[in-house]
């Protein structure tokens, strides 16, 4: 994921859920391991063991925190974590082990995976309740969870993990090091790159929404393409990506999609683009590389969005965007009386221009 915008980073960000708790059956992580992951400089005992994370304003012993604010004096007198990711400027204000980095928030993003319970998995192999077609090719270290089904002519890469009740239709390919959550469905002819994470309920390759009008009613158009995901793609819970009508729907490398996003057939999403929850992209639209789409942004079909475009939350895009920049639409919520006046004024603009 690309480095977050500074405006989105609070001074004292709350760390991940389960903060301050040791994960069951997980070994500790040494400070030197953390420093190596984020290229930090350790001040203190490098062999100190860490067993979880905690927010800086509610720090607990045995945990790692990060401080991304401008002044740290008030934390000196408060309970401190065992170790903290901090800038050189603020390091002097902490008494615990300090890992000095240029950007504590970005450093935390890099090291957070060290504390993910999924980093230590003993569930290698096929659960006895899973159904796997005899011609499926499984590389070393693959795990397939309870009641999952893998169809014919599929290949699953090294160290990839499938949760429970996963459905993989025929002719699918999954790269190495992927994590496929429970109840994920990959329809036929889906290709998933390496190191991808698909959260629970994701559906990849569902039938695209294509119908031709006729006197007898709407005639369904067979959706004959597939979906291709690049490497290092993250997809949030219950997001749906439709398969192409003829060619594949394509999601580029390192794309990050939030929960409950709809991407229609034949869409192309460029590398390093990120989308927040409830974004909707209509069919055959091309989203450029390194774009950022805020929550509930909507883009109509057959459009092109330039690289590095930012669509703020709720933006509605009805024509192609050829010049990168930040785009907004929609009237923010306001008291109903004021909203009615605003809409009335907008409706009168045409008369003003005619004069």
Positions annotated as catalytic residues are 265
- Is the Cβ–Cβ distance between 306 and 324 less than 8 Å? yes
- Is the Cβ–Cβ distance between 272 and 290 less than 8 Å? yes
Separation of alpha carbons 119 and 25, rounded Å: 11
Task: Give CA separation, 258 vs 39, 238, 239, 274, 322, in Å.
Answer: 28, 9, 8, 8, 25
Per-residue DSSP letter, 239 = -
Separation of alpha carbons 107 and 15, rounded Å: 13
Cα Dmax for the chain: 78
The set of residues, in sequence order, having a beta carbon less than 8 Å from that of 77 and lying 6+ positions away, is none
Task: Give CA separation, 167 vs 75, 324, 327, in Å.
Answer: 49, 39, 39
DSSP states along 98-156: EEE-S-HHHHHHHHGGGG-GGGS----EE-TT-EE-TT-EE-TT-EE-TT-EE-TT-EE
Could you identify the residue written with the tokens 């069919």?
283
Give kind and range of the element (H or E) at residue 287.
strand 286-287
């Amino acid at each position: 994921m690309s480095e977050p915008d500074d405006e989105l980073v609070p001074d004292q960000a709350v760390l991940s859920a389960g903060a301050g708790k040791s994960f069951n059956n997980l070994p500790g992580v040494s400070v030197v391991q953390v420093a190596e992951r984020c290229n930090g400089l350790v001040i203190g005992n490098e062999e100190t063991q860490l067993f979880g994370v905690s927010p800086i304003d509610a720090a607990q012993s045995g945990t790692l925190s990060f401080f991304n604010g401008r002044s740290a004096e008030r934390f000196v007198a408060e309970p401190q974590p065992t170790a903290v990711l901090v800038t050189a400027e603020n390091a002097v204000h902490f008494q615990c082990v300090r890992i000095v980095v240029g950007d504590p928030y970005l450093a935390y993003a890099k090291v957070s995976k060290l504390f993910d319970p999924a980093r230590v998995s003993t569930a290698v192999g096929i659960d006895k309740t899973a159904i796997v077609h005899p011609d499926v090719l499984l590389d070393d270290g693959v795990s397939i969870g309870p009641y999952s089904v893998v169809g014919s002519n599929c290949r699953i890469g090294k160290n990839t993990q499938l949760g429970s009740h996963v459905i993989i239709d025929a002719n699918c390919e999954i790269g190495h090091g992927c994590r496929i959550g429970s109840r994920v469905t990959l329809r036929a002819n889906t290709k998933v790159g390496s190191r991808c994470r698909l959260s629970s309920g994701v559906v990849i390759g569902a039938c695209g929404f294509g119908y031709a009008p006729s006197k007898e009613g709407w005639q369904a158009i067979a959706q004959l393409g597939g979906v291709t995901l690049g490497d290092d793609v993250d997809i949030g819970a219950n997001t749906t990506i439709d398969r192409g009508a003829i060619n594949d729907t394509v999601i580029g490398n390192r794309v990050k999609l939030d929960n409950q996003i709809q991407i229609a057939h034949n869409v192309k999403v460029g590398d390093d683009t990120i989308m927040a929850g409830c974004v909707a992209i209509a069919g055959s639209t091309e989203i450029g590389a390194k774009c950022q789409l805020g929550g509930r942004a909507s883009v109509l079909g057959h459009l092109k969005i330039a690289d590095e475009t930012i669509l703020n939350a709720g933006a509605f895009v009805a024509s192609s965007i050829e010049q990168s920049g930040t785009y907004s639409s929609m009237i923010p919520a306001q008291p109903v009386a004021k909203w009615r006046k605003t809409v009335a004024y907008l409706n009168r603009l045409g008369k003003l221009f005619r004069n």
